[in-house]
Structure 1
Amino acid sequence: MTVPATATAPAPNGNLNEPVITVPIVPQEPTTPPAEGRFTAEDLEKVRREEREKLYGRLSQQDEILKATKEELEATRKAREEKEASEVSARKKAEDEAEAKRQAELSAKSLLKEREEEWERRFTDLQSKYEQDRELFAREQEFQRLQAVRSELLAAAADDIAPELADLVQGNTEDELRNSVELMKTKSAAIVAQIQQTQVAARASMRGTAPTGYGVGPADTDAGYRQYSAGDIKNMSMGEYAKLRGQLLPAAGNAARQGMFG
């Protein structure tokens, strides 16, 4: 911008002390001819149009790059999601298979343990039955031996023991049988002596021997059952065994016929 200059007019008659008026002077812009090669409006419009076309081209190219980038990112995202889903599915399948295998192994182990316990129980029962049979056989042998000894002792003392007293000869050992035979001899001798002393009284009193508790009592007719182990059979007296052998021997035979598998 051109700043107007301030001009001061000289005072009339050259008197410097007289008042004067100051007014601005607008300088004249020099008129220069147009420079050689100056752009016209059409040239400027053409340049603007070309710049706009270049700008639109760059924007269009950037849009295409952005679109391609988005598509690539979307494809990458989908591939990653599909890979993660596949990995999750594979991991889930592996876990399911491992769990199924574990359950199968657990079932097999439980079944095997159950079978082992069953066989152990059967073996224990069989061993217990074997012990019972062994003790029963040993007891029966001893009973038969003592019966043979008793028969021999009774045969040898047949003339010294009253027939009514022969059944009272009992014992769990040979010594007890011999003592019982001697006792019956003494009783028989006492009976004979009494008969000889009082024949009439002896005939009146000889109506048979009254029961003295050797019959079957309520405990023997009990309808219940009792189990005897090998230890029970081993420790019972021969008199008790003699009473029970009629039940023990058949029961042992029935159990033996059943076998291990019932």
Structure 2
Amino acid sequence: MSLLDKDGVRVTVDGAVATVTLTNGARHNAQTPAMWRALAETGSALPGSVRVVVLCAEGPSFSAGLDKRAFTREGIPGEPSFPALAAGTDEDLDAAIAEYQEAFTWWRRNDVLTVAGVQGHAIGAGFQLALACDLRICAENASFAMRETALGLVPDLGGTHPLVSLIGYARALELCVTGRAVQAAEAERIGLANLVVPPAELPGALDDLTAALLAAPRDAVIETKALLRGAAARGYDAQRAAERAAQARRLRDLAGLGG
């Protein structure tokens, strides 16, 4: 079933699996506000039957980052340029950035598991979109870089939190400030990538992981994801209490006593 196909984003649903494909491969899937709106719309439009969302991209690159036209005074046709946004009020600028962030936030919600398949470049906004997903499988030619700081900006599309959570503060700071590229082998070693495969094997690896993620009962997966996502913000005793509460819900549900 086709759910959406516009502005460089195509979404199809096959039972419990939704596939989100970036389709502007000729431009290395450069990101625009219109693409971000389409991605945000995807999160709202997913049927409740979807358990796994696979994010992939056409062309040689996953996403080479923001469309550079946004930095010019002319901007991207039909969109406010960044210089124009900067000239606006604090409230308008904050609201614009918050709207852009919506494309990157829903991927980590507890009722779905999200997997990015990354080939080629994942730069800036592309890196942050891959970070928005729960898991990442990378082709051997994948290369991550956070270039915002080099441009006088900061990563502002939700990427800083998962980046620090995955690789720690010191590595995250070094990557963001230097803007250096992290190749696939290093990405796997430091925890950015769950698996690295030859480029030709990326689709099959995504299929295999999707099947494995669907094997466990959905409610147990939802509870487990919620526990793990909240662990860093809780102390040890609070986490143990959260585990007890989640397990009580599961035991009652399995016994037919859930309400």
**TM-score normalized with structure 1 length:** 0.18
Larger proportion of strand: 2
Larger radius of gyration: 1
